Structure 1
Amino acid sequence: MNLKYVSFLPVLFIGLVGDVQSQDFKPLFNGKDLSGWHSFLKTKGRDNDPDKVFSVEKGLLKITGQEFGYVVTDKVYGNFHLVAEFKWGEKKYTPRENKVRDNGILYYVVPDDKVWPRSIECQIQEGDCGDFWLIDSTTVVIDGVRTPATKNTHILKKKDAEKPSGEWNRVEIIANDGKCTHMVNGVVVNEGLDASLRSGRILIQSEGAETYYRKIAIKEL
């Protein structure tokens, strides 16, 4: 079910400056391996990735997108501020080879390895960066109205701050006491209140598109 809200948030430029580690952020990805994460692929299960859908290449997290699945943190987080930079690669795969490149960062992920587990998603998709997807009956309050508890509820971003495909984009997720804020390149693009989930793991998808991540860091609030 798609929900299209028409009110707008003010643009807010509060991007982080310099090295995030100097501001009480801790690396969530070490640039060497996937320590602190485990993988899950829809057809192969946990930590069974013979085709290297997820790998580390020149300090970057490379996701081929060849198969639906994800890497997910072993640690559970409550209130946090997450920062990550991503850019799209060239390759796309079935069943999305003729569609826009799609990916996503899911948070407050429940401990149930499947595609896709109950959670809140900050959408990362060409043209739609910062949308909410509320997965498996998760709800938030948008513009004073609680979203319906559907299987997958889609809430469009209210600002567009993406850079063109192939360039690095910075995504920030601030989740604090039920308030969920999505930022793209320093601009608040979406915000929800009183989230029905307040704790869980953090997940990065593989969903048909080659993608690279770097500078993934988190500050617990």
Structure 2
Amino acid sequence: MSPLKTCLSAALLCALVPSTLADSAGEKEWINLFNGKDLNDWAIKIRHSKLGENTHNTFRVEDGLLKVRYDQYPSFDHEFGHIFYTPQDFSYYRIELQYRFVGQQVANGPAWANRNNGIMYHAQAPETMGLDQDFPLSMEYQLLGGLNEGERSTANLCTPGTHVVMGNVLRKDHCINSSSATYNGDDWVNISLEVHGRELAVHTVEGAEVMRYRDLQKDDGSALERGYIALQAESAPIDFKVVRLLNLEGCMDPEANNYKSYLVKHDSKACQY
């Protein structure tokens, strides 16, 4: 029996349960994708290396941070890397993340990749990537650091094997700039991404919306509705401090014990009564 129905049969509960349910329904259940301690829930895939090989200790956890480093590389041969959160894929969700670029790009890193990284979302499963594949099929929330001259926005969109619609235009250009400010130096930057399946994606930087688009799709026009989340290693050292996700898909039935008022996609199988 649901708490609401129980309330109807007991006057005392009727006075107490509604506010409790309201509080519980609005309480957001964030998932800390990075726990600040280890990479146990993550799978590493670096170009030219097999899944699970952390080539030259590229990804590491130090001082409570998830770090990308190149100090153990004898040379760099386009060994672009990705670290995937593997417990599950997602479709409707909000990600919040803090990042900062630090230090110098690895020698022989391509000029375009200097202070360049990204969040790959709606990505293919890591085990489906080829040995020499550089980037997963995905949407990329691109992270760029300023180069101390000119403008260089962050929270851009890149589309490896994918397309989106902006306004009423199908965009096939590989990277599209956001309206964000330029962030020079090594300061922490706070960003978020909200995704509603294939329907909508919104990029936010320091609380301000900088980009939105819809109709997420693969190059062949088929819908891209869900996938895995990965962080990149593109030849520039970077730190990640907060990496957390709010699943926006779940039980939206107010009669259920686990009803959440902030959800945007109903999953009847998730409801508990």
2:103 counterpart SS class: strand
Out of 124, 129, 132, the position equivalent to 2:154 is 129
For residues 44 and 97 of structure 2, the distance between their equivalents in structure 1, rounded to whole angstroms, comes to 18
Which residue number in structure 2 is paired with residue 165 of structure 1? Answer: 185
TM-score, normalization: structure 1?
0.82
Give the letter aligned to residue 173 of structure 1: L
Which residue number in structure 2 is paired with residue 183 of structure 1? Answer: 204
Structure 1 gaps of 5+ residues are: 1-21
**Structure showing the higher helix proportion among its residues:** 2
Higher RCO, 1 vs 2 (CA within 8 Å, ≥6 residues apart): 1
Which residue number in structure 2 is paired with residue 35 of structure 1? Answer: 40
Which residue number in structure 2 is paired with residue 145 of structure 1? Answer: 169
Instruction: Indicate yes or no: 2:117 matched with 1:103.
Output: yes
Deviation string 1:51-93 (CA, Å, 9 cap, x unpaired) is 2100000100000155411101112111110011000110211
2:159 counterpart SS class: strand
**Structure showing the higher strand proportion among its residues:** 1
Higher Rg of the two aligned structures: 2
1:96, CA displacement in angstroms? 2.8
For residues 155 and 213 of structure 2, the distance between their equivalents in structure 1, rounded to whole angstroms, comes to 12
Give the letter aligned to residue 174 of structure 1: E
2:226 counterpart SS class: coil
The answer (yes or no) to whether the contact 2:80–2:135 under 8 Å persists in 1 is: no
1:98, CA displacement in angstroms? 5.0
Give the letter aligned to residue 45 of structure 1: K
For residues 35 and 166 of structure 1, the distance between their equivalents in structure 2, rounded to whole angstroms, comes to 27
The answer (yes or no) to whether the contact 2:31–2:246 under 8 Å persists in 1 is: yes
The answer (yes or no) to whether the contact 1:174–1:181 under 8 Å persists in 2 is: yes
More moved, 201-210 vs 57-66: 57-66
Give the letter aligned to residue 118 of structure 2: G
Give the letter aligned to residue 97 of structure 2: A
Give the letter aligned to residue 188 of structure 2: W
TM-score, normalization: structure 2?
0.67
For residues 55 and 123 of structure 2, the distance between their equivalents in structure 1, rounded to whole angstroms, comes to 25
Out of 214, 217, 220, the position equivalent to 2:244 is 217
For residues 210 and 202 of structure 1, the distance between their equivalents in structure 2, rounded to whole angstroms, comes to 20
Instruction: Indicate yes or no: 2:82 matched with 1:70.
Output: yes
**Alpha-carbon RMSD:** 1.8
The answer (yes or no) to whether the contact 1:161–1:185 under 8 Å persists in 2 is: no
For residues 184 and 70 of structure 1, the distance between their equivalents in structure 2, rounded to whole angstroms, comes to 22
- How many equivalent pairs are there? 195
